[in-house]
Structure 1
Amino acid sequence: MSDLVEFVQNEFIEKKEFPKFSAGDTITVYYEIKEGEKSRTQFFRGVVLQLRGTGATKTFTIRKMSGSVGVERIFPINLPAIQKIEINKKGAVRRKRIFYFRELTGKKARIKEARRS
């Protein structure tokens, strides 16, 4: 049964090429919004909290601050509305899922930038 599911996912779901990113990175996701007959591109820029799942069911969670309120959004990696993903900053974190980041405020909420080699 799982072979059949994998076959259908590989054949019928179109795959887009996005840059590799991980938890702690600051990224910008450009996605299309349709309002009636009009469509426009909107972006969501924030810190990646987690990557979850594999293959066609892979999702990632992004958190940004809107004023003093934290806003989180979960994007499926195969969402047809996603136009592109830009990596703004590579973060140096030790964990794959940084949910502790939600409680941090001020200077503690900064993530060190990863060294480029």
Structure 2
Amino acid sequence: MENPETPVKPNTFNVGDKVVVNYRIKEGEKARIQPYEGLVISKKGSGMSRTFTVRRIANGGLGLERIFPEFSPNIESIVVKAAGKVRRAKLYYMRERVGKLAMKVKEKRG
């Protein structure tokens, strides 16, 4: 059951956007912020349990995906670097792409 008093962030990004997720990681007693930059390929769920998947291409051309809970207290910020223009709600076809096309999406003009 969701807590109705929990503040809801406005929906600031969409599928197809290139984002940087600044995620707080605890290692023992130390905490650091790790930026994770990539393409939002899906959004799932509703309410406080909503999640989104970010895909990036690591060194060596290996594709990595990470699922973030949208309302996680460990997320410091979500910065939209470029707004994308797509016609699909889920961009799972991006997993099959290789090379420069692996992260290419039309940009919104505006």
Q: Which residue of 2 aligns with 1:41?
A: 33
TM-score by length of 2: 0.90
SS of alignment partner, residue 16 of structure 2:
coil
Equivalent residues, number: 108
The match for 1:88 among 66, 73, 81 is: 81
Greater percentage in helix:
1
Return the offset for 1:108: 3.0
Q: Which structure has the larger Rg?
A: 1
Return the offset for 1:62: 0.2
Q: Supply the distance in 2 between the matched residues of 1:32 and 1:16 (Cα, whole angstroms).
A: 20
Q: Which consecutive unaligned segments of at least 5 residues does structure 1 have?
A: none
> Over aligned residues, Cα RMSD in angstroms?
1.5
TM-score by length of 1: 0.85
The match for 2:106 among 96, 109, 112 is: 112
Amino acid at match of 1:54: S
Q: Which residue of 1 aligns with 2:96?
A: 103
Q: Which consecutive unaligned segments of at least 5 residues does structure 2 have?
A: none
Percent identity (aligned)? 41
Answering whether residue 64 of structure 2 is matched by residue 71 of structure 1, we say: yes
Deviates more, 1:14-23 or 1:99-108: 14-23
- Change beyond 3 A, Cα 1:96–1:89: same
